[in-house]
A and B are shown apart, each in its own frame.
Chain A
Amino acid sequence: MSAAPHSLSESASVMRMRAAFEQHNGANIPLRQAAFATFSRAGFPTPRDEQWKYTNLRRLESREFTVSHPDAPYTSVIFKPANVYPLVFIDGYYRPELSTPPTSSAVKITSLLSLQQSDPQQFATFSDIQTDQSSSMTALNTALMTDGIMIEAADNATLDQPIFLTFLWSDTELNLMAHPRIVIRTGKHAHLTVIQHYLDTGSTSHFNNSVTTVQLAAGSKLEHCLIQNENNHSFHVSQIHAELAQDSTLTNHHFNFGAALARTDINALLKGPEAKAILNGLQFATGHQHHDTHLQVEHCVPHTQSHEDYRGIADQRGRIVFNGKVKVHEKAAKTDAQQSSRNLLLSSTAEIDAKPELEIYNDDVKCAHGATIGQLDANALFYLRSRGLDEQQARALLTHAFANHIITQVPVPEMRQQLTETSHVRFGAQLEYMA
């Protein structure tokens, strides 16, 4: 059995993905074949699609990326904050020998690739959450999935430390692509903190197409960080699809620092009363970087809440896109949806598009949104300079202060420290003068 018939209209870039798929060790699995067919029909998203209006993947499509392989040698030091359970991925493959999963039996960690081999039926459930129709990039991930991790917390489970997933690249010169998949499922009243950290300190162009699915059972809480710090030649597409049951809370802290082009989609379905999604984020684009984040929160039932607090900073020729869609279904009375998008435009050649998008089918709701794009506060800039700081230093300080509002909300101190350092390096500031 083969994947969907090769369509004549298939573009060169889709054909390259097909070639990659056909060599892939999952090519004979029906689930993956169906996903590839979905991808091949839809192709890569284009600006004709409203949701991709400002983000063109042409540059990504024109490149050739090689499928990565497991067990690539990795010799560099692995950054990990203190007091976490590190789970290490190299080129999209989970590396148990570099990882320290939690020992608690209440939280089960399974490699998806090993599951594909040992228990195909259980494996097939990883894509239980309905996502493939919504995004051709998710379909591509399902088809070409390199490896992934399933994190399952039993009812009432808690962990003493966060789970730290770090996605690194081996030091080959090859332009690799990886399609990692993260599945997080919490039992009732379980509490978890999971950090997904994408880091590339090299300069070889890579393509990371990452998908995370989150299913929160009643009363559970997930504190989640998505930190993208790929190198500035790379492409990064990542998605989070979350479903929240009654009384559950998802808090996400999202950072787009790296990559030439990064696109993030965070979709949250609030399916039970008192479900709450808190989405905080920071995007910083400089040089020729392009960062695009699309949020979509659906309030499906009464008494649900969403809070979005996003900040964007664009310098030089950087480009920031933020789109925050909130959909309130007809029966979702007493919805409380707050959205704030604040943006700093630091140069005349940078560009920011920030847009709230409200679709509200119920009158009994509290929805507020605000999007601002501004410059650094001239009063503050003068104040710092009048105390002796030079202009560049004053600008860096104020830019960092603006970003810091998002960074300080990250619940893991060591991670906050790391984010602060990353932001200093990227803002060109002197470390010791920061708050």
Chain B
Amino acid sequence: MLSIKDLHVNVGDKEILKGISLEIHAGEVHAIMGPNGSGKSTLSQVLAGRDGYEVVSGSITYKDQDILALSPEERAREGVFLALQYPVEIPGVNNVYLLKAGLNAIRKHRGLSELDAFEFLTLIKEKMKLMQMDESFLNRGVNEGFSGGEKKRNEILQMAILEPSLALLDETDSGLDIDALKIVANGVNSLRSPERAILMVTHYQRLLDYITPDYVHVLAGGKIIKSGDKSLALELEKRGYDWLTHPQSQKGTTTGAIGA
């Protein structure tokens, strides 16, 4: 579904991603872990089409097309969804209307009929129940005055409604207490299916107790320095990143590509 090959990305003159390769197939859940500043958010933003990042070399192929040629909205309509690490507050733009506009744009692109107000409300209420969100959120501005945890839940609510093929979750677990984490994990798990792929960026292994990944990658200094299965996350939990990023232990690192 997603194939990243030797991706180099600059911000200004600074090289942030230094040759990332990653294969993700439908049905898989991948976790990317790594220290702060290693380039995790950069990777997810580049995948979603955020401008300001210069792809110097390498390629990203999604569903057999060059994703780099597509605008953010075209990617969204093709099924890419990014839950942001820092969801944006947009006072004055209504939460429901954003979702309805987004969903209908995506449905239209897929040749489906647009939902009317009633159908949409029925859908959103069902999904809000899943996310245990109060209906009062409906008529507020996008993320306006939401707490950190509420913003993250709202991201997953959006994902549940837009039903992407490729979900990118950037530190969706950070700032959540254990109850909220379970709700978010439940929302993500309910979306797991053989047709979908999930790439989740996280700092802590805690999230992986609730969403079991098929693969775990360690991103440090703009490179994937180790890949493995769920046990890698547990090892990281125990030993931290130092044994991987420390010069002496770097000799033993593996390449980033998993599966072929």
List A residues at the B interface (Cβ < 8 Å). Answer: 377-380, 382-391, 393-394, 397-398, 400-402, 404-405, 430, 432-435
Point out which of B91, B101, B105 has the most chain A C-beta atoms below 10 A from its C-beta: B101
Given the contacts A387-B162, A434-B94, A435-B97, A377 and B88 also touching, CB distance less than 8 Å: yes
Mark B53-85 against chain A: 1 for CB-CB distance below 8 A, else 0. Answer: 000000000000000000111011100011010
Is chain A's interface secondary structure helix, strand, loop, or mixed overall? Answer: helix
Return the CB mask of B87-105 against A: 1 if under 8 Å, else 0. Answer: 1101111100111111101
Asked if B49 lies at the interface with its beta carbon under 8 angstroms from chain A, I say yes
Bound Cα distance from A398 to B98, whole angstroms: 11
- CB <8 Å contact, A400 and B92: yes
Instruction: Give min CB distance, A275 to chain B, whole Å.
Output: 31
- How far does the alpha carbon of A385 sit from the alpha carbon of B102 in the complex, in Å? 8
In the complex, the chain A residue whose C-beta lies closest to that of B117 is: A432
**Cβ–Cβ < 8 Å partners of A401 in chain B:** 90-93, 141
Decide yes or no whether B50 CB sits under 8 A from chain A. Answer: yes
Would B73 and A388 count as touching, CB distance under 8 A?
Answer: yes
Shortest C-beta distance, B73 to chain A (Å), equals 5
Asked if B93 and A385 make an inter-chain contact with CB atoms under 8 angstroms apart, the answer reads: no
CB-defined contacts of A398 to chain B, threshold 8 Å: 90, 93
Q: Which of B71, B73, B75, B92 contacts A402 (CB 8 A)?
A: B92
How many Å from the CB of A237 to the closest CB on chain B? 31
Q: Is the CB of A380 within 8 A of B101?
A: no
Q: Is B51 interfacial (CB 8 A cutoff)? A: yes
Name B's A-contacting residues (CB within 8 A): 48-52, 71-73, 75-77, 81-82, 84, 87-88, 90-94, 97-103, 105-106, 109, 141-142, 158, 162
Q: List 14 A-B contacts (CB under 8 A).
A: A377-B90, A378-B51, A378-B52, A385-B73, A387-B98, A387-B101, A388-B101, A388-B162, A389-B73, A391-B73, A393-B101, A394-B73, A405-B92, A433-B101
Question: A397's closest neighbor in chain B, by CB?
Answer: B93
Which residue in B49, B97, B100, B142 is a CB contact (below 8 Å) of A386? Answer: B49
How distant is A376 from chain B, measured CB to nearest CB, in Å?
Answer: 11
- Cα(A398)–Cα(B141), bound, Å: 11
Asked if A386 and B94 sit within 8 Å, CB to CB, the answer is no
Instruction: Decide: B97 and A432 in contact? CB cutoff 8 A.
Output: yes
A384 to B93, Cβ gap below 8 A? yes
Of A379, A393, A404, A430, the contact of B88 (CB 8 Å cutoff): A379
Using CB atoms, name the residue of chain A closest to B81. A386
Contact: B88 with A380, CB < 8 Å? yes
Instruction: Kindly provide the distance from the CB of B50 to the nearest chain A CB, expressed in whole angstroms.
Output: 5
Which residue of chain B has its CB nearest to the CB of A405? B92
In the complex, how many angstroms separate the beta carbon of B46 from the nearest chain A beta carbon? 12
* C-alpha spacing A329/B72, complex, angstroms: 55
- Residues of A within 8 Å of B49, CB to CB, are 382, 385-386
* A391 and B71 within 8 A (CB): yes
Contacts of A434 in B (CB 8 A): 93-94, 97
Q: Which B residue sits closest to A432, measured CB to CB?
A: B97
> A432 to chain B: which residues have CB within 8 Å?
97, 100
B97 interface neighbour in A379, A382, A390, A433, Cβ under 8 Å: A433
